[in-house]
Copies of this chain bind each other. A is one copy, B any other.
Amino acid sequence: MPAEASTSRTPSPPLTERQEARRRRILHASAQLAGRGGFDAVQMREVAESSQVALGTLYRYFPSKVHLLVATMQDQLERMHGTLRRKPPAGDTAAERVAETLMRAFRALQREPHLADAMVRALTFADRSVSPEVDQVSRQTTAIILDAMGLDDPTPEQLSAVRVIEHTWHSALITWLSGRASIAQVKIDIETVCRLIDLTTPER
């Protein structure tokens, strides 16, 4: 199993065991603090203390709070992709399966709304310096959606549809997290956008 699948971006020098452990402690502390309190509760000094690492070291591993939270999201996403793989969605059409998959992910986020807040806010607040990492998250999300569609090599049109679905997914999450949309509303939006798939994938 590729334990460093997400690291494939930067062929950084392989970490020693203790370094790997530090990295893990940091991500764990980050997720923990985010879990209660959300974005604001993830304070770099606290993350450092909580993971038994000096502040300077924390910054060596993750060059900013946003980097840290985006990495936390990568971590969680991988976990989720694994879970989803184990129980694939059951719908008849691609649109149904994608909608089901996203709603499943949404329910998982609802169980940890503060964590969701921290990760999503970091993701959309990220500036250019975090582009590679954000891109990685985006690729991972795309992979999840394509998995649900059951497609191996999608057409450009289908890729557009997937991108739009991702846009909707992120933005709908934000409106929900900031209390401007209900859970029901997010559900409707997801179902609505998933109809685009039928438009580009003439179901046989």
A16: min CB distance to chain B, Å: 32
- A178: chain B residues within 8 A (beta carbon): 126-128, 130-131, 134
Contact B180 A134 (CB under 8 A): yes
Q: Main SS of chain A's interface residues? A: helix
Other A-B pairs, 18, CB within 8 Å; known A121-B124, A124-B125, A193-B196: A121-B127, A128-B178, A128-B179, A138-B180, A160-B188, A160-B192, A163-B185, A164-B189, A164-B192, A167-B168, A167-B171, A167-B172, A168-B168, A168-B171, A168-B193, A193-B193, A195-B199, A199-B199
Residue of B nearest to A129 (CB): B178
- A199: chain B residues within 8 A (beta carbon): 195, 199
User: Interface residues, chain A, CB within 8 Å of chain B?
Assistant: 39, 121, 124-128, 130-131, 134-135, 138, 157, 160-161, 163-164, 166-168, 170-172, 174-175, 178-180, 185, 188-189, 192-193, 195-196, 199
Contact B164 A193 (CB under 8 A): yes
A126: min CB distance to chain B, Å: 6
- A175: chain B residues within 8 A (beta carbon): 167
- A138: chain B residues within 8 A (beta carbon): 180
CA distance A178 to B131 in the complex (A): 7
A198: min CB distance to chain B, Å: 9
- A166: chain B residues within 8 A (beta carbon): 171
Contact B131 A179 (CB under 8 A): yes
CA distance A188 to B160 in the complex (A): 7
Contact residue among B128, B168, B174, B196 (Cβ-Cβ distance under 8 Å from A195) = B196
Contact A164 B168 (CB under 8 A): yes
Q: Which of A124, A135, A179 has the most CB of B within 10 A?
A: A124
17 interchain pairs (CB within 8 A)? A121-B125, A124-B125, A124-B171, A125-B125, A138-B180, A157-B192, A160-B188, A160-B189, A164-B189, A164-B193, A166-B171, A167-B170, A167-B172, A168-B168, A171-B171, A192-B196, A199-B199
